[in-house]
Amino acid sequence: MIQNPPTQPRFILDGMLGSLARWLRLFGYDTLYSDTQSDDEILDLIQDRVLLTRDIELIARARAQGFKALNPGEGSVETMLESLQDKLGVRFTEDPNRSRCSQCNTPVRLVPKEEVEGDVPEGSFKRHHKFWRCTNPACQKVYWQGRHWIRIRRILNQLGSNS
């Protein structure tokens, strides 16, 4: 019998974990985040998502309603990502084509360089050849592999998730 591959988890994070939300989106994970939602609103939105929070009471409430919820731990983003690898078995890879917009959580797509001229700093436009744009018409944020990718690769190496 052929088994279906496991689906990639989807997440919802409370206001304490904005930095982690951006990193999960970078690595392609569908991640809801708002620092303005109440605990009740978060519980209403969970559906099939994994709740990540440091709020012990919110974890207990979510679990009592049958949802998966956990504390990703304290410390650096690297520490929290490592905790998610250990607790959930998720893996992180360097694949900008799977990334989601860090602001709105919508998938990004590779676009021709000419399409972003004037939308990115001139120096970045000259130095880089690949650009990704958020597919949300209301957002349209543009991404490229700038200096921050040095840190991303370092973290991936640290996590043992080299692509």
Residue ranges and CATH numbers for the domains of the chain are: 7-92 (3.40.50.1980), 102-163 (no CATH)
The answer, yes or no, to whether residue 163 has pLDDT greater than 80, is no
Nearest to 72 by CA among 126, 118, 123, 33: 33
pLDDT of residue 152: 86
pLDDT tens per residue, range 93-130: 888 899 999 999 999 999 999 999 999 999 999 999 99
Q: Of 93, 88, 163, 103, which is closest to residue 135 (Cα–Cα)?
A: 103
Say what the pTM is.
0.89
For residue 157 the two structure tokens come to 């190496």
| pLDDT mean over 69-90 | 94
Does residue 40 register a pLDDT over 60? Answer: yes
In the chain, what percentage of residues exceed pLDDT 70?
94
- The pLDDT of residue 162 is 53
